[in-house]
Structure 1
Amino acid sequence: METFYGIAIFLFVLFLLLGSGVWVGLALLGVAWVGMELFTLRPVGDAMATVIWRSASSWTLTALPLFIWMGEILFRTRLSEDMFRGLAPWMARLPGGLLHTNIVGSTIFAAVAGSSAATLTTVGKMSIPELRRRKYPENMVIGTLAGAATLGLMIPPSLTLIVYGVAINESITKLFIAGILPGIILAALFMLYVAAMSKFRPSYRPLPEPPMTFNERLRNSRFLIPVLLLIIVVIGSMYLGLATATEAAAIGVMGALALAAAQGSLTWRSFTESLIGATHTSAMIALILAGAAFLSLSMGFTGLPRAAAEWIDSLGLSRFELLMMLLVFYIIIGCFLDGISAVVLTIAVVEPMIRQAGIDIIWFGIFIVVVVEMAQITPPIGFNLFVLQGMTGHEMNYIARAALPMFVMMIAMVFLLIAVPDIATWLPDNMRQVGGG
């Protein structure tokens, strides 16, 4: 009964603070403060200072602002224009045509940005006008961009995987490597959908692209070389054990600066704007992580995580049933919280459940990222929907309906992960050497 009251108090204070518009990080700190005052005699200020310092001083966490900065630098380059010029000649020959540039372009940029919003904005600012000019169906243009941009949460360097790894004390490098194959497969599912729609939808009649010789397509591909080299260096250095995630992030920042300088887009203004943008985003995530660390400590005094794990165990759920329950849970919570907030808010309760069920921690990290990706295109708080609304001027309902097929593809990806767990675990299990940071 005491545990029940503890849960009720935590939830009441949390929803009260979130509903009143308080920042997520401050809401988590507030809930934890109330819990500490009610359920322990320990001095709250001392406990808060200790746990926040311990979580914030993690060396692993230094990869986060570096990868964010790398994405901010590349966002201010001509990367989207170069990607479109390099990809268009090859994508035009596929069933579905240039819509595939949304998917492949997002996949490429996701591998250097780590952020869904940055991927969406960078790829969309070039592809939307070009695809509209060629008379591609508007709902397909918006839907593919909304779905493919979520790959920024999956393909390394993923900010969500960094946060998950820090929260659950798992190797960031292993999690990054685990996200490669699922990210590629999810992109392939999006492309299969586009190809199918182009064959069976009568209204799919875009303007044809002018023919190009093989040599002309090769010449245009040179625009992709710099960003592909950056991806190979960043991800390859981690996979080969030459660099930890933090060291790879530092290499990525230097590479992004070099790429921006080579393009002529590195100015003092763009440099300072990228630094300020990275600082804002990093500070926001750091505040959420600090609040989550303090909340985990506070909940420990109530016995909530242990009680929840014991309750789930008493239900006698199979591994599949537990995962289905968590799938529905994260889809619902994703309607109201962004992905990073959803992960840090729930992981203290969910971790004992998955460990008790014998679910692989690395695999579950990929599972949770796919489900969190769904939240990016789920009303009412789906962040990608808001970004697309600002870019296209369409109503939220129209954008959400356009993104619905991509949501279905992500559901299919979840079941594929459950059926073939090696999709997420084979690469990290076969790494030559894993760096902890």
Structure 2
Amino acid sequence: MAALAGSAVLALLSTACTGSNDTGGNDDSAAGKDVTITFWHGWSQDNEVKAINDSVAAFEKTHPNIHVKAVSNVADDKVNQALRAGGDDAPDVVSSFSTNNVGMFCSTKAFIDLKPQLQKSGIDPAKTFPAAMLNYTQFKGNQCSLPLLGDAYGLYYNKKAFAAAGIANPPKTFSEFAADAKLLTVADGDGYKQLGFMPLYHGYESTTEHFLGQYGATYFGEDGKSNLASDPTVAAMLNWQKGLVDQLGGYAKLEKFRSTFGEEFSAKNPFHTGQVAMAIDGEWRTAALAENKPDFDWATAPFPVPDDQADTWGRGYQTGTIVGIASTSKKQAASWEFVKYLTTDTDAVVNFANAIHNVPSTVDALNSPKLAADPNFKTFIDIAKNAHSGTTPPAVNGSGYITTLQNLGYDYESGKQSDLAAGLAATAKQIDTDIAQAK
């Protein structure tokens, strides 16, 4: 889905520059006159829409002259069509679920650079937002968006299955993880009654970028070129994942079992049903499990790390929702007041996080006593605070480079590509070519 969205956005943005940073910087809101701004966002579930509408209402109460018209369930491709067309129907403020598109939003100037507004408001981004979240909201010095709640990835494990296998604690290193995955795997004929962990990249959330988050991979060198072939952590991750695939039965057997899984965002998720005993997933899964109530006790922990980086245990991959101001907006002063409230007001951030079970996106909100954080959710709060946690860097062609690496992962795990060094070299070359064409 991210790849399709990225391609759609790239196709739209490559046709024309969508705006500039000097359109509508001031409006009548500064003088206390009534101003109405339009806010487009992607939330669509009833509880999510209610939560964002509650945030809007709270903002309007503190800014009685600024009115917000919120429009829900808007995808990135529609956003960019509107920004390209401009006019009265275009949004003033936009949020997006895809941090992969920040590089395009910034480089095409679809969103304004928020550094002047941050400076004028006395907000230091480095002290306000966790490092990983700040990193995925900017591109080449352009702070064209800010974080609006986040996601962190960790380990979910079946405590009943752990007890049956004689495992006392969740694994911290990959060697412990491999041993536990084997102990937790129960055969059933030529298949599985229970699988310790589904390592295939088509398994839910077991993607290359989520695994590489445990290694601290950099993706690009200082020259902007892909360093996937020269960064040893990338080959190490691909070999670790392939070793786990082979250990747990091989690609064909695992793929056959994967075909029996229910939908990821349902009560038929394989962790919910007990088909897998361990899973990598985001903080939102805690709410889903609490609602679906599987017939076993479960818990969370940071996902394991490489043995030679054992001191980084507690880290995890991070992503989230971003929000920016359209360059075409003629109401940027009012829009900034709204964006500032959504992203930096501690109570606003905490209330929104509590309502939709996402990770707060400011340092103060992460430490707020008002944050609803039971032990299982606290795991993800701690991951967001961890200095070793990271993300994937924005690129001018969005998620293109992630998709290219993922395709190598598919080929390598299945045995279609046996020469990893050659595969990584070709992948890096393709990524560089794609980015050059996008520029």
The answer to whether the superposition gives a TM-score over 0.5 is no
TM-score for both structures, normalised by structure 1 = 0.28
> Normalising by structure 2, what TM-score?
0.28
- Structure with more of its chain in strand, by fraction: 2
